[in-house]
Amino acid sequence: MRRIPSILGDPGWTVCLVGEEQSGKLAQVTAGLRHGPDPSGSGKRITSGFSYWGLESTVAWAHACNDLYYPVMRESIGSFSRRWRAMTQTLPDGPLHYVSLGPGTGQKDQALLRYLDSRGRSGCYIPVDVSAEMLRLAQREALEHLHVPPADVLPVQLDFSMPANLDRLCTLIRHAVGDEPVVYSLLGNTLANFDNDTQLLALLAEKLLRPQDRFLLEVASTAGQDEAAARAAAHEYENSPRFREFVTSALMQYTDLQIDMNSLTCEGLVEDDRALKIKVVYRNRTGGPLELTLPDRSTVPFPDQDTIRLLLSRKYTPAGLEKMLVDARVTKVGETHDVGHAAFDRPAFGLALLMLQSADAAPEPAPRVPGPNPFRD
Amino acid sequence: MGLVSRFSRQFFAAATISCLLFALGTCVWWVTVAEGSDSRFEPVASGLALVAAITGVYAERRAAARERRAQALYALTDELVKNSELLAGESFLPQDPLAPKARVYPRLVQSATDATLVSGAFAEPGHDALIALLHRWRDAVHDFNRRLDLAELRTYVSQVPAEELLAIDEAMRRPGGQLDGLCRLRDELSLLLRERYGRQPGVAARLGPGRPDPGR
């Protein structure tokens, strides 16, 4: 290990810590595809993270992010630098370490690291992702033209949605940074891809956040919450050919299914009063039963009209977002809301960037003293 | 000048009327003692001039004073009606407990009260009660308007929670509070004007014959 820093002088090398058994992950993918038939999109599924697992998916994701027909992600990346600047007042003082959970293409990480670097406050950069290919891509993009020493970059391949993994990640981060403050980030509406999003946020806050740390969360937001808004949200995803390639890339990788892009549908639903839920599903529209061969060579029946959920996403209402933060025991210390592209006759969707800290770290609000009353005093 | 300024207006009026009456008496006596019809013209003419001076000056002054009082009373009653309408208006309705909001309150007017007090229209004896009440009314209006200024500053300069908006509104309307005291003074003034000056043309018509005040 002592000899590695000299090797890292060559930018072609990347050191990556693998935090869990990858064969176990493959078993997880196949388990998700073994669920029974369900035409509503709640049966077979490719769970979050595995959509990006593998080189093919990584490349497809990078293409989707630059697709002119998929402006949401492009605008999210383009405006991130401006939105992040509005948030910098809420950062703790001194050098900051940055842990990026699901770094994506690395462009947002670069905006954040560039800010820290320009102020001489950069510490360690620890991108964490389930996909090694994604990590390599993100790291290269994030560190371009920056002066972060190779020894301060520590990519970790790990599924951060599992409690045991978080414990181990927490230990690693504590060893690397000591008591110095850390900024964690979960950007690009990644949180919405999980079935139990609130539980995941609560888990991350509980396991990772100390009083001196901050958590940067980016989620998609919606002003309206009716059937029309849900349909419009689904259309956003449907319009992009690159996005369709991306969501089906995992299916191509883990099954022998002959992909028909016309069998891909995006369904918008209203999820209580908290969010619009978007399911991207692949439906068997061949008119007859099919059989899927999985990576372990076993076969699974795929009857007519049965579905495989390829992606889950949400757009949160302001009330739903507030409730999720309360339930996850985190408090806001800063926020920006960006209303994205929206025609006058369509619902306004946007992006919310929130700077959070652990609710336990927030000082108790002072008891409210009523102000002077001119008709009483 | 120092000695003269010590005497009151009543003293000079009495001295003037005494002199004129004495001169009139002298003219009457002069007519009785004058011999020949030609020599009586002069005391008669002087006597008539003195009668004109006595009646004309006094009557003109009384008529002018009456006119000033009438104008002041018109203005006072108009102002009282206007203030009653303001207090009964939408801006002073109680706050909606479910959706209280910051308000810009209209101010009560007091220009006619001020003008009446400084004009001396009611300076003659017999109007002491009205003058005392007008002073109290003017002070109460000034105090109330100043508290409205403070209430607006409090609620507009910073974000004030709904419960504080309700607390200010409740304090303003509490029994024995500023608004209550102001309304009581307005009723007293209205009653005094109606009873004491109701026969003056226009006063009773403006105030209405004992109609309930809209501000209460």
Measured between CB atoms, which of A370, A371, A374 is closest to B147? Answer: A374
What pLDDT was estimated at residue A342? 59
Best CA proximity match to A49, nearest among A144, A159, A143 = A159
Given pLDDT bands bounded at 50, 70 and 90, which one contains residue A362? low
What pLDDT was estimated at residue B216? 41
* Summary mean pLDDT of chain A: 86
Count of pairs with CB atoms under 8 A, one residue in A, one in B: 32
Mean pLDDT of B84-98: 89
What pLDDT was estimated at residue A330? 92
Q: Where are the alpha helices (DSSP H) in A294-368?
A: 318-327
Comparing alpha-carbon positions, the chain B residue that sits nearest to A373 is B168
What pLDDT was estimated at residue A130? 87
What pLDDT was estimated at residue A217? 94
Rounded to a whole number, what is the distance in Å from the CA of B116 to chain A's nearest CA? 29
Distance (Å, whole) CA A141 – CA A80: 15
Measured between CB atoms, which of B160, B161, B172 is closest to A375? Answer: B172
B-chain residues within 8 Å CB-CB of A372? 150, 154
Look at chain B and count its residues.
216
* A292 φ, ψ (degrees, to nearest 5): -100, 135
Q: Per the structure block, which two tokens stand in for A172?
A: 């690693």
Distance (Å, whole) CA A183 – CA A17: 20
Answer yes or no: are the C-beta atoms of A190 and A87 closer than 8 Å.
no
pTM of the model: 0.62
pLDDT in tens, A148-180: 887 888 899 988 988 999 999 999 999 988 889
Q: Does B150 touch chain A (CB under 8 A)?
A: yes
Rounded to a whole number, what is the distance in Å from the CA of B19 to chain A's nearest CA? 60
Best CA proximity match to A151, nearest among A313, A324, A6 = A6
Q: Does B142 touch chain A (CB under 8 A)?
A: no
Mean pLDDT of B146-167: 90
Does residue A273 carry a pLDDT above 80?
Answer: yes
The 3-class secondary structure across B133-202, one letter per residue, is HHHHHHHHHHHHHHHHHHHHHHHHHCCCCHHHHHHHHHHHHCCCCHHHHHHHHHHHHHHHHHHHHCCCCC
> How far lies A357's CA from each of A202, A204, B71, in Å?
12, 11, 71
Whether residue B151 and residue A375 make contact (CB cut-off 8 A), yes or no, is yes
Answer yes or no: are the C-beta atoms of A243 and A64 closer than 8 Å.
yes
Given pLDDT bands bounded at 50, 70 and 90, which one contains residue B214? very low
Answer yes or no: are the C-beta atoms of A263 and A251 closer than 8 Å.
no
Answer yes or no: are the C-beta atoms of A84 and A113 closer than 8 Å.
no
Whether residue A370 and residue B177 make contact (CB cut-off 8 A), yes or no, is no
Answer yes or no: are the C-beta atoms of B68 and B121 closer than 8 Å.
yes
Given pLDDT bands bounded at 50, 70 and 90, which one contains residue A26? confident
> How far lies A117's CA from each of A154, A157, A180, in Å?
17, 25, 17
Mean pLDDT of A106-118: 90
3-state secondary structure of A280: strand
What pLDDT was estimated at residue A1? 60
Does residue B122 carry a pLDDT above 70?
Answer: yes
Whether residue A371 and residue B151 make contact (CB cut-off 8 A), yes or no, is no
Whether residue B164 and residue A372 make contact (CB cut-off 8 A), yes or no, is no
Classify strands A275-283 and A264-271 as parallel, antiparallel or unpaired: antiparallel
3-state secondary structure of A107: helix
Comparing alpha-carbon positions, the chain B residue that sits nearest to A374 is B147
Answer yes or no: are the C-beta atoms of A304 and A287 closer than 8 Å.
yes
Best CA proximity match to A20, nearest among A162, A198, A138 = A162
Best CA proximity match to B95, nearest among B172, B149, B177 = B172
- Give Cβ neighbours of residue B30 (< 8 Å, ≥ 6 apart): B42, B43, B46
What pLDDT was estimated at residue B35? 80
> How far lies A312's CA from each of A72, A109, A197, A348, in Å?
16, 24, 11, 20
Whether residue A373 and residue B167 make contact (CB cut-off 8 A), yes or no, is yes
